[in-house]
Structure 1
Amino acid sequence: MSMHKRFRVLILGAGFGGLAAARRLRGSPDVEVTLIDRNATHSYYPMLYEVATGFRHGRDMVGEAALSRGASISYERILARWGCGFVQAAVAAVDPGKKVVRTDDGDEHPYDHLVVSFGFTSDFFGIAGLEERAFTLSSLEDALAIRRRVMDYLDRKKRGQEVSLRILVGGGGATGVETAAELANFFHGRQKAGDLHSGDWNIRLVEASPRLLSMLPTEASAAVLKRLEKLGVKVMLDTCIKRVEDRHVVLAPRPLRPGESLDALVCEFRAEAERSFEAEVILWCGGIRGSASTAMLGLAVDRKGRIPVDPTMAAQAPDVFAVGDCAALTDPESGKPVPNLAQSAIEMGELAGENIIRRIHGLPLRSFRFHAYPTVIPLGGKNALAHIGTWTAAGLVGFAVRQAASFGYWLKILPFHVALRDFVRSTFSYMSND
């Protein structure tokens, strides 16, 4: 009697796209799935700003653990019920010709099909001094590092020291806006309570475009700007970071486009070549690129370090698929690049998993179809802006939409009772900081 062959599927990187591929493949009698990731836990990136701004929790390991639980979960808790294997290790080399992956512990992992989901790294655009001086918010460790830096300031303030905290956030996209808003909401609340004064803190948000959140309608961007200004955030548009010198950030008007005059900029100091600001904390949220690990495959990458894929998520190597932030995909209908969003990474991963099954059975592969995903931007405390199609809601309604979206994701990867318990626990933990 012949044995039913099970094809070995390796998934490199267990972020949104990698987990989505594993979820699609779970239970299939045709495959044996193993995920490889250097971390033991899956980070829920939309909640990292809550960890970074969780100042009411203690500085000890208990306080950090309480914050971390709402933004991370053990891979073993997720994958065990899916029947998938997990290897905690860093990928050291990939040989698409021999179909073998080697990890940093020296082990070799052969595969029949490979899903690459290495994720992203921050893009500093060659700005002098920025990478060395700035915090980023791309991992749980990053979020905790930001929190510790701000907690140092708060501790010195409690001891009666005359200190002020100047924070500069680079990038007016979702991460920059929500982090600046949550920081300002906390400081604004402490100021109302009399614990801080207006001169004790300062937050600047720098964005090179003429408005925040350029993917949203103009009215929604204006509403976000109004909310940030109400919280005391100084928003500087049409402004870019030119270089960082120790604790000084040198800003300049953004470069002019062909035919554009300086008067067209909304930069507040467009008559000057540059201006310097002091900052104890610099947070860079101004751009991402594909992980440097993608180079291991020896495939061509685009200018953002991402692996070009066709609409089926297949790369230019036998039985290799790439998904998420390390994949460069053009929407076949619009001809535009698919944006780097959690929702698109999840759909890419699901499609890659489905197409592996279809390839095994000799069926035609399906193509990616881009959807207009809902956008939810937390704006400090129980306030958020939600934009779905032509509908926009702000304030508490937007916050409710945001909570529903987060709970929906936990339901995808956890049993209902576990998802509900963890979600409620983390919600109360984070709301205690408002």
Structure 2
Amino acid sequence: MKWSLNAMAKWASGRFIGPVAISLAVLVLVVSELGFHRQQGISVNREASIEAQMIVGDLSRALLFMESAERGYMLTDRHDYLAPYLEQERSFQQILASAEHIAAGNEHLREKLSQLVELARQKHSEMRTVLERFDAGDRDGAIELTLTDMGREMMVQISTLAEQVIREESHGYTQTSLDRDRVLRASRVGIWVLVIVCVVGAVSLMRLSRNREAERRVAMLQLHAERDRLDEEVVRRTAETIELARHMERVREDERARLARELHDELGGLLTAAKLDLARIRKRIHDDTGTKQQLVDHLGQTLDAGIALKRRIIEDLWPSSLSNLGLRRTLQIQCAEFSQRAELPVDAVVDEVTLAPERALAVYRLVQEALTNVAKYAQASRVRVVLRRLHDQVEVLVEDDGKGFDVDATLLSGGHGLQGMRFRIRACGGDVVIRSSPSRGTTVRAVLPV
């Protein structure tokens, strides 16, 4: 059960770790972007609140400066007291336009700002009327208008509205500051939580990767151990197969030798006895016509051909000349007999080489099989057989100028003779290379140690 849970955990982590990592990254971006946009909105509100307070304050100060300058001018009749009025009047219209713009974009301040702007226009109009009367020489009318409660009431209303706007905007500014702090804290907490989750996920992924790496190493060690075991098994089985094949080859050669001895001893004795009997019969026949003598001669020729056939079969089964005359002379005889039977010129270049009996027999069988293939399939006009020593190795070549063949296709389709040649030489520690192609002849090259 524990193994199953671990396997399920590994499967789930391996299956979902990628999507989870992507989701966490997306969440970090989302939290960051939400916090940024929220703070951006709060900053815009804070700036609008500060701008509204500044405009209201500027409007109140401008009216106060203008009213003070107006009264100073009327009391002293000096134009330098009128300079602040004129200076504030130039920026007064800009302040009113800014206040109207803020009122158009701020719904909850629209009504109060509109009232404030309207009262400021009326107060400005009242101050201009007073100055116009004063400049026109109607000093008493101007003072009387100034002393009325209308101007004072308008300034009280303006101050009251300005204080309300500033108080409300100060409260809104404080609230937006609190909102900003909350958004900052929430963003930081969210990002920290996601970062912690990411770190935990990264640590888990690292542990999972280490576990998988350890499992992979264990699996590789097991795989290498299994491969080494299989290699050893293959080597052992190959050695057993080669030894078995060698044994079977020895058994076959022994059986050939036994058959050769049987043919030589039994059939050879019978044929020799028949030949002697025929010689005695020939001496006792008296035939004037010669017919009986011809029959006896023909029978003698038939016995000679049978004896020759018996000798050739025995030599094919077991080359007695190999143990009596040596490898060089045996190959020369083999090439000469093949040239006579196949009616093909054979160029035999055979050096004196001393080999173990098993290897000498392998060379003889190789040349025998190669020459047999030439006679059967090659349609050659010339054959070359070479036996020579190369340092501590012996090289055997059998070349013909025949029609050639596809080596790979022949081996795949059977080619037991070619496979037999290779096995004989490889069993002796050598190797065989067969080069051939259609219309390009064939070369059989074998190299084996001395």
What TM-score, normalized to structure 1? 0.18
Q: Which has the higher contact order (CA 8 A, sep 6+)?
A: 1
Structure whose residues are more often helix by fraction: 2
TM-score (norm: length of structure 2): 0.18
Rg bigger for which structure? 2
Higher percent of residues as strand: 1
